Structure 1
Amino acid sequence: MKKYLLPIVLILVLSKGNAQELNLPTFTQYLADNPFIIAPTYAGIGDNVKIRANGFTQWVGIKDAPENQSLAADMRIHDQSGVGIYLYNDKNGNTRQSGAKLSFAHHLTLNKYADQFLSFGISYNLNQFRIDIDNFNGTDSGVTDDRRLTNHNFDVGVLYRVNNYYVNFAVANVLNKELDIFSGIEPLELRNYQVYTGYRWKNINSSDWELEPSMYFQYFESDQRSTTDLNLKLRFYNFEDYYWAGVSYRFLNDQFMEPLNIGPMAGLKKKNFYFAYSYQVTMNELFSYNSGTHMVTVGLDIFQGISNCPCTY
């Protein structure tokens, strides 16, 4: 039986890897006041160089469960443009991904009196995907070398803002992937389509707090699956510092009442320091075998520089 077990496991790993490759897992990292990691259009919005380091461990309690570490930074250049970089390392079973995204965004003012803005963004993606053979028996699995490939791709997006409402549309991995050593197992269509929208409702009687409902929709062209996050955040302000708490609910769009993940999150910004924590319960067959997904974000907002254009406020 052992003779056939490793090849079966390898097939399962590769099959799981096709959904993972170039479609990095997105949980609630973007809700840690860092939507730049899901859309290049947010690069340069704000008065600081924004740096965010994020780490999460999925399905805690299960051996070799997925892990991800990332570092994102973006900043404004001139008055109406921004640049950013996103570095990541992802582990999922015996598959590994690492790479970078380099982003540029340009922001336009449609109506400065109505706070109406339009932003365009593009990212160049460099991704390396490989199979880690350290746990393989070469005789049983037939894999005797550390197989890897490198892909180049692009993300594009457009962001519309008016007053406290925002909606962002993005296409990730615009180009099809070329045939490679995993051909026949992986899809060539890596595109996924994303919509992120929300509204920041401010208390008209007090500026001390605001409520922000938001939605994040993803559609994957390769297998026609789609997911939606429904989020709710409450912020409390103390001058330039603030504290927030919220909850996120993710589901497949044909299974609204059967959530994939659900859980609370909280964070704070104190002077230049940022910290956030998110916990999610996985609501599927793995529920009984793990203690959920834990995510931590730490960051700095440094080198403040006020823009002359409200489109980057």
Structure 2
Amino acid sequence: MYMDFKNTFFIVVGFLFFQSAISQEGLPIYTDYLTDNYYLIHPSMAGVANCAKVRLTARQQWFGHEDAPKLLTMSLNGRFGESQSAYGAIVYSDKNGYHSQTGAYVTYAHHIMFSRSEVDLNMLSFGISAGFIQYKLDETTFPFDGSDPIIDGIVQSETNFNVDLGFSYHYLDYYAHATVKNLLKNSGVNNDIEITSNLRRYLFSVGGVFGKLGSDWSYEPSIMFQYKDGTQEASIDLNGKVYKDMDFGSIWAGVSYRNSFDGAQYLDGSGVSSQKLRQITPLLGVNYNQFMFAYTYTYQMNSLVFTNGGFHQLTLGYNFNCRKEKYDCKCPAVN
């Protein structure tokens, strides 16, 4: 009974919820980038702000269930002094059932200014991240009698090197980002399966921040599209955030809706049905002087789910080496 439950758990997770459950994909793409953390997914955002930034995130899925997915990340990025060049670093640990991965990236970014003055924001940025990912597959609890050549009954481990490339463009209150993640071929711990060798992922983000002149309120709609090359899966995030300026900094809230373009089939007792990944994520945050705190909760909107419990994530941040805000724009990612 216990093994049947465990097998059912991972079949459901791996088959239906590929966005939050596929291992061996490098740093997973959730909605934590909306918590003032675009550098996590776009290397060109390293050092784009007027402050250096440290961000810590902790994500836990399905509280109370053994081996439920969980993710920890820590990132740092900033400028090299007063230059247009920037640095960044990311370390993370991602565990999902029998699979786990740890990774570390370093980033170099460069920002080219086209502004006529420091009042108008017009900036093109390029970034490259390189790092190592160690994958592990724990087969020690698998039923093992030597008859299945795929199962060795040990902890398999493999370390891969990979590269991310991206660019960003900021013009006044608007922005656009494009990134290719996992550019190189990957072996992982399942190198006999073709799709695990190609983990290339394409990300595109566009958005803008709007508000009346002199108002303490501003609004930020944005879209993020992602495409997985190896499995030909695509999804889109539709996002909205609202900011309120305060004496101590700002408070903000928002919501993100993720919808996949690809469905998964399953047996429903009377035949074969299909459903697409649909998630909605409310988020709430506060910037207090140089500190930042945010909470997000992701709810699965599908009819067939492993559990009704959602995904909780906390983000803690600290800004340092801040320079005076340069640009007359509603651009929270830069000013």
Q: Secondary structure at the match of 2:197?
A: coil
**TM-score with structure 2 setting the length:** 0.82
Q: How many residues align?
A: 311
After superposition, give the CA deviation of every residue in 1:33-74 in whole Å (9 maximum; x if it has no partner): 110000110111223221111011123354322110110111
Letter in 2 for 1:269: N
Select which of 63, 87, 91 maps to 1:83: 87
After superposition, give the CA deviation of every residue in 1:259-280 in whole Å (9 maximum; x if it has no partner): 5210311000101211000011
CA contact (8 A) 1:18 1:187 kept: no
- Aligned residue in 1 for 2:202: 193
CA contact (8 A) 1:62 1:289 kept: no
Letter in 2 for 1:148: S
CA contact (8 A) 1:99 1:125 kept: yes
Select which of 287, 291, 296 maps to 1:278: 296
For 2:208 and 2:293, locate their aligned partners in 1 and report how far apart those are by CA, in whole Å.
23
Identity %: 32
Select which of 116, 123, 132 maps to 2:129: 123
For 2:61 and 2:201, locate their aligned partners in 1 and report how far apart those are by CA, in whole Å.
22
Moved more, 262-271 or 55-64: 55-64
After superposition, give the CA deviation of every residue in 1:216-275 in whole Å (9 maximum; x if it has no partner): 1100000111011101000001146000010010001357x9652103110001012110
Q: Secondary structure at the match of 2:39?
A: helix
- Aligned residue in 2 for 1:45: 48
CA contact (8 A) 1:155 1:172 kept: yes
Letter in 1 for 2:316: V
For 2:96 and 2:306, locate their aligned partners in 1 and report how far apart those are by CA, in whole Å.
20
1:59 pairs with 2:62: yes
For 1:35 and 1:4, locate their aligned partners in 2 and report how far apart those are by CA, in whole Å.
40
Report the CA distance between 1:10 and its aligned residue.
Answer: 8.8
CA contact (8 A) 1:154 1:172 kept: yes
- Aligned residue in 1 for 2:284: 266
For 1:312 and 1:7, locate their aligned partners in 2 and report how far apart those are by CA, in whole Å.
46
Select which of 159, 163, 168 maps to 1:154: 163
Select which of 242, 247, 250 maps to 1:234: 242
**TM-score with structure 1 setting the length:** 0.88
- Return closer, same or farther for 1:178/1:288 CA change in 2, 3 Å cut-off: closer
Structure 2, unaligned stretches of length 5 or more?
Answer: 264-274
- Return closer, same or farther for 1:11/1:128 CA change in 2, 3 Å cut-off: farther
Q: Secondary structure at the match of 1:201?
A: coil
Q: What CA RMSD, in Å, does the superposition of the two structures yield over aligned residues?
A: 3.3
CA contact (8 A) 1:266 1:277 kept: yes
- Aligned residue in 2 for 1:100: 104
Report the CA distance between 1:212 and its aligned residue.
Answer: 0.3
- Return closer, same or farther for 1:309/1:198 CA change in 2, 3 Å cut-off: closer
- Return closer, same or farther for 1:118/1:77 CA change in 2, 3 Å cut-off: same
Q: Secondary structure at the match of 1:20?
A: coil
Moved more, 7-16 or 40-49: 7-16
Letter in 1 for 2:283: M
- Aligned residue in 1 for 2:32: 29
1:173 pairs with 2:182: yes
For 1:89 and 1:275, locate their aligned partners in 2 and report how far apart those are by CA, in whole Å.
21
For 2:155 and 2:14, locate their aligned partners in 1 and report how far apart those are by CA, in whole Å.
14
CA contact (8 A) 1:44 1:84 kept: yes
CA contact (8 A) 2:91 2:103 kept: yes
Report the CA distance between 1:87 and its aligned residue.
Answer: 0.6
- Return closer, same or farther for 1:20/1:6 CA change in 2, 3 Å cut-off: closer
- Aligned residue in 1 for 2:217: 209
- Return closer, same or farther for 1:59/1:286 CA change in 2, 3 Å cut-off: farther
